[in-house]
């Protein structure tokens, strides 16, 4: 009788089927949650620690040096960089940190604020001294773009980057006109899809001393030379054909040796029309 009772008690203490795996699952889930919580708190602490560390004086940019700037005032470049670095808004990490400073934003601002700057780079030269070096490569005037009496400097790619001084309005710089009606001059590119070909044409005609290039319509342009003569042609024409047709016209019996030619019109294929300064055609 007692053995039967012991068996019943033992059977009552036996865990139901499936209860052991459930307890293991709960235990493992608690461990995973505890591990995840610990990891999360550790990462938060690490981020907070890193944020505070980034503001330590040892890791901050202490000075800015500008190299390569000539026409662009160096102090203005420094001021532009400081405007980015000393942003008054909330920054979790120090913007002046030598490892985390916003290099791209500094380069973009200087390039935007100073159109004369062709290339800009920034880098930390002395990590322990916290010296930020900004290197600037400036554009050089290769031509002028003029509207009435006001002229601007253009680089070799047709990019207009600054107003021209009175001294720069003359000299050997070719004068370009037209094509920018209604557009802001500084920061614009003159004939972006045609400028390279226009440059090649002017170089091809360099022996005749081109003085100015003017866009007269969407399809046509004129080139004025130092002797006062100008040539009309179309953008659709090949540079070589323009040069060959012009030389053929100037070598013809009608024009050979004449110094009173007002213009030669080459817009009509192999035919050339001309006019003399006294009104003769």
| Residue 8 pLDDT | 46
Question: Residue 9's pLDDT is what?
Answer: 45
What are the angstrom distances between the C-alpha of 229 and each of 148, 204, 222?
Answer: 20, 17, 10
Nearest to 201 by CA among 248, 245, 141: 245
Give the separation between CA 125 and CA 137, rounded to whole angstroms. 18
pLDDT at 84: 92
Question: Is CATH 3.90.550.10 correct for 143-276?
Answer: no
pLDDT at 229: 96
Cβ-contact 108, 84 below 8 angstroms: no
Query: Under a CB-based contact definition with an 8 Å cutoff, are residues 178 and 215 in contact?
Result: yes
The one-digit pLDDT tens for each residue of the chain (281 residues) are: 445 444 444 445 554 545 667 777 777 777 777 777 767 766 666 565 555 555 677 778 889 999 999 999 999 999 999 999 987 666 666 678 888 889 999 999 999 999 999 999 999 987 788 899 999 999 999 999 998 888 999 999 999 999 998 655 556 899 999 988 556 899 999 999 999 999 999 999 999 999 999 999 999 999 999 999 999 999 999 999 999 999 999 999 999 999 999 999 999 988 999 999 877 66
Mapped onto helix, strand or coil, the DSSP state of residue 103 is: helix
C-alpha to C-alpha distances, 123 to 41, 57, 120, 197, 251, nearest whole angstrom = 35, 18, 10, 37, 60
Delimit the domains of the chain by residue range: 17-54, 59-138, 143-276
The pLDDT of residue 18: 52
Indicate the pTM of the whole model: 0.75
Spatial strand order in the sheet of 63-67: 63-67, 131-138, 117-126
Tokens (6 digits) for 9: 């008690």
For domain 59-138, say whether CATH 3.10.20.310 is its number: yes
What is residue 171's predicted lDDT score, i.e. its pLDDT? 66
**What is the pLDDT at residue 236?**
95
Q: Do domains 59-138 and 143-276 have the same CATH topology?
A: no
Q: How far apart are CA 151 and CA 214, in angstroms?
A: 14
Q: Is 35 helix (H, G, I), strand (E, B) or coil?
A: helix
């Amino acid at each position: 009788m007692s053995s039967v009772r012991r068996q019943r008690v033992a059977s009552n203490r036996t865990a139901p089927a499936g209860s052991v795996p459930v307890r293991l699952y709960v235990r493992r889930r608690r461990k995973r949650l505890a591990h995840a919580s610990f990891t999360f708190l550790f990462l938060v602490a690490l981020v907070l620690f890193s944020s505070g560390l980034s503001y330590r004086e040892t890791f901050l940019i202490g000075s800015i040096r500008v190299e390569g700037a000539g026409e662009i005032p160096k102090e203005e470049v420094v001021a532009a960089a400081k405007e980015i670095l000393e942003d008054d808004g909330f920054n979790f990490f120090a913007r002046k940190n030598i490892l985390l400073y916003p290099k791209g934003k500094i380069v973009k601002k200087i390039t935007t604020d100073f159109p004369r700057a062709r290339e800009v780079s920034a880098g930390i030269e002395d990590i322990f001294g916290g010296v930020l070096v900004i290197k600037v490569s400036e554009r050089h005037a290769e031509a002028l773009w003029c509207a009435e009496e006001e002229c601007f400097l253009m680089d070799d790619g047709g990019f207009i980057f600054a107003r021209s001084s009175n001294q720069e309005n003359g000299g050997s710089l070719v004068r370009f006109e037209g094509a920018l009606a209604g557009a802001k001059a500084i920061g614009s590119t003159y004939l972006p899809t045609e400028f390279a070909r226009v440059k090649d044409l002017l170089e091809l005609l360099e022996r005749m001393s081109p003085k100015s290039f003017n866009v007269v319509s969407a399809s046509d342009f004129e080139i004025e030379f130092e002797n006062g003569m100008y040539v009309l042609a179309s953008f659709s024409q090949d540079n070589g054909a323009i040069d060959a047709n012009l030389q053929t016209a100037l070598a013809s019996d009608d024009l050979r040796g004449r110094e009173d030619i007002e213009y030669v019109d080459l817009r009509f294929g192999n035919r050339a029309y001309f006019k003399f300064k006294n009104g003769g055609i």
